[in-house]
């Protein structure tokens, strides 16, 4: 009886460690998905305001409202990129860049986005993965 309980406890411990490892492991963000999201007019649509090298659009088809993202992977860490995408108002309260990862302080929100941010954490991570490679 003791042996069976011990075996059960060991199995449960191993199972729990596996779950903890899966939750704690950083996700492997897909830069190709990031590129797709940045081009998607219903999601990121980053190129409407920014010049983004390698996005596959001519410079005249990209915006100049926001700064060029050329070399952004050298200037900003992944954490800094994430913070700016989540809510650029932290760095510039007068920015016109939408907060893609938060709903704090928003009014008159499109019904499609009520109660949820425009991008999920995984989508933001994918965009950061793409931007981090821009040198």
The answer to whether the beta carbons of residues 63 and 48 sit under 8 Å apart is: yes
pLDDT in tens, 77-132: 999 999 999 999 999 999 999 999 999 999 998 888 889 999 999 999 999 999 99
* Predicted local confidence at residue 27, as pLDDT: 54
The answer to whether the beta carbons of residues 106 and 99 sit under 8 Å apart is: yes
- Token pair belonging to 64: 């100049």
Contacts of 45 (CB under 8 A, 6+ apart): 38, 39
- Token pair belonging to 95: 């920015």
Q: What is the architecture of the domain spanning 29-132?
A: Orthogonal Bundle (1.10)
What does the pLDDT average to over 46-72?
94
The domain locations on the chain are 29-132
pLDDT in tens, 10-53: 444 444 444 333 333 445 899 999 999 999 988 889 999 999 98
Contacts made by residues 20-27, CB under 8 angstroms, sequence distance 24+: 27/122, 27/125
């Amino acid at each position: 009886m003791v042996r069976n309980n011990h075996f059960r406890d060991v199995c449960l411990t191993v199972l729990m460690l596996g779950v903890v490892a899966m939750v704690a492991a950083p996700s492997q963000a897909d830069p190709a998905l990031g590129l797709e999201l940045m081009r998607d007019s219903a999601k990121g649509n980053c190129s409407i305001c920014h010049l983004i090298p390698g996005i596959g659009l001519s410079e005249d088809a990209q915006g100049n409202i926001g700064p060029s993202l050329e070399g952004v992977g050298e200037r900003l860490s992944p954490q800094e990129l994430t913070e700016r995408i989540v809510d650029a108002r932290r760095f510039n309260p007068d920015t016109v860049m939408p907060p893609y990862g938060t709903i704090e302080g928003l009014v008159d929100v499109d019904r499609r986005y009520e109660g949820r941010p425009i991008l999920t954490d995984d989508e933001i991570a994918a965009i950061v993965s793409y931007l981090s490679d821009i040198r």
